[in-house]
């Protein structure tokens, strides 16, 4: 499943349309649960009900986890952060109180307001996951000219070069250029770089971020059959005037 960005209603649609079994199926969620639409809290609560869940760390998740442990948001709640604020302020009974005056972009939300189960959830997200079929799952990508397991952890949830290189190389392939990696995988599943429409593939890389953080849809895929299901466009599910971007 691609980037969620607070789209709880889209999450429920994808689980229902794919006939996902919360007790028997394995869900690999590719990160960025936080920021965007205003139901981040509900997304985490739903994911916690899935028995076999592999939660990958996204950059927006890291920012929110930093706040939950320090009371400081490194990006000052920008890049969709107001949606996360709305969600957790509603949960803790402080709706409508966003930014206070003065420096530091202080809000009514405090780190102590975040449930410990949620702090633990974000703390335990994995930088990547590889399975027995030599498939790799991560949020953003990695430097393909470096050994995969030796890279700084922030690369896995931040670096876009893998997808950009794959797109560029696929357009240059007639000129004899090769797409090589130091560490090879049979398939690589990523999010982070938003695309519109359906999942896209370049070489063995499959981009699952179909724009749920903006005006696109959320996608869930059976990675064995490649069948996928999508939610409705997120603006159709959230017609309320939140003004959270």
* Domain presence at residue 49: yes
- Based on the structure, what is the number of domains in the chain? 1
- With respect to residue 242, please indicate whether it lies within any of the assigned structural domains: no
| Chain segment 63-87, per-residue pLDDT in tens | 999 999 999 999 989 899 999 999 9
Cα atoms in the 13 Å half-sphere on the side-chain side of 167 = 9
Report yes or no on 1 lying in a domain.
Answer: no
Residue-wise pLDDT tens digits, 154-211: 999 999 999 999 998 887 654 556 789 999 999 999 999 999 999 999 999 999 999 9
Which secondary-structure segment (H or E) carries 220? Answer: strand 219-221
Instruction: Give the residue-averaged pLDDT of 23-36.
Output: 98
**pLDDT the model gives residue 240:** 76
Mean pLDDT (the chain) is 92
80-127 pLDDT tens trace: 999 999 999 999 998 766 665 444 567 889 999 999 999 999 999 999
Q: Judge whether 240 lies within some domain.
A: no
Give start and end residues of each alpha helix (H) in 54-180.
59-70, 81-91, 116-123, 153-158, 161-172
At residue 178, the pLDDT reads 76
- Residue 2 included in any domain: no
How much is the pLDDT for 241? Answer: 58
Task: Please name the residues in contact with 171: beta carbons below 8 A apart, sequence gap of 6 or more.
Answer: none
Q: Examine residue 3 and state whether it is found in any structural domain, yes or no.
A: no
Helix, coil or strand: residue 34? coil
Domain membership flag for residue 132:
yes
Residue 170, pLDDT score? 82
| Domain-located, residue 243 | no
Domain extent for 204: 8-235
CATH at 87:
3.60.21.10
């Amino acid at each position: 499943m691609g980037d969620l960005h607070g789209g709880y209603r889209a999450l429920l649609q994808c689980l229902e349309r794919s006939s996902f079994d919360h007790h028997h199926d394995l869900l690999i969620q590719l990160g960025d649960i936080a920021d965007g639409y205003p139901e981040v809290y509900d997304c985490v609560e739903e994911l916690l009900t899935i028995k076999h869940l592999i939660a990958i760390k996204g950059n927006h998740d890291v920012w929110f986890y930093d706040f939950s442990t320090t009371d400081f948001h490194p990006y000052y709640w920008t890049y969709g952060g107001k949606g996360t604020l709305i969600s957790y302020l509603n949960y803790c009974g402080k709706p409508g109180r966003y930014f206070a005056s003065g420096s530091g972009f202080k809000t009514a939300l405090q780190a102590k307001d975040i449930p410990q189960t949620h702090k633990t959830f974000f703390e335990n997200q994995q930088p990547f996951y590889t399975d027995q079929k030599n498939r790799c799952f991560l949020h953003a990508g990695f430097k393909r000219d470096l050994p995969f397991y030796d890279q700084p952890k922030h690369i896995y949830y931040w670096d876009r070069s893998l997808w950009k290189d794959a797109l560029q190389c696929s357009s240059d392939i007639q000129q004899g250029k090769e797409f090589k990696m130091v560490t090879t995988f049979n398939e690589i599943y990523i999010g982070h770089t938003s695309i519109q429409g359906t999942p896209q593939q370049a070489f063995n890389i499959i981009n699952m971020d179909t724009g749920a953080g903006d005006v696109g849809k959320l996608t869930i895929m059976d990675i064995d059959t490649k069948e996928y299901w999508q939610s409705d466009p997120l603006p159709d599910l959230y017609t309320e005037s939140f003004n959270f971007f």
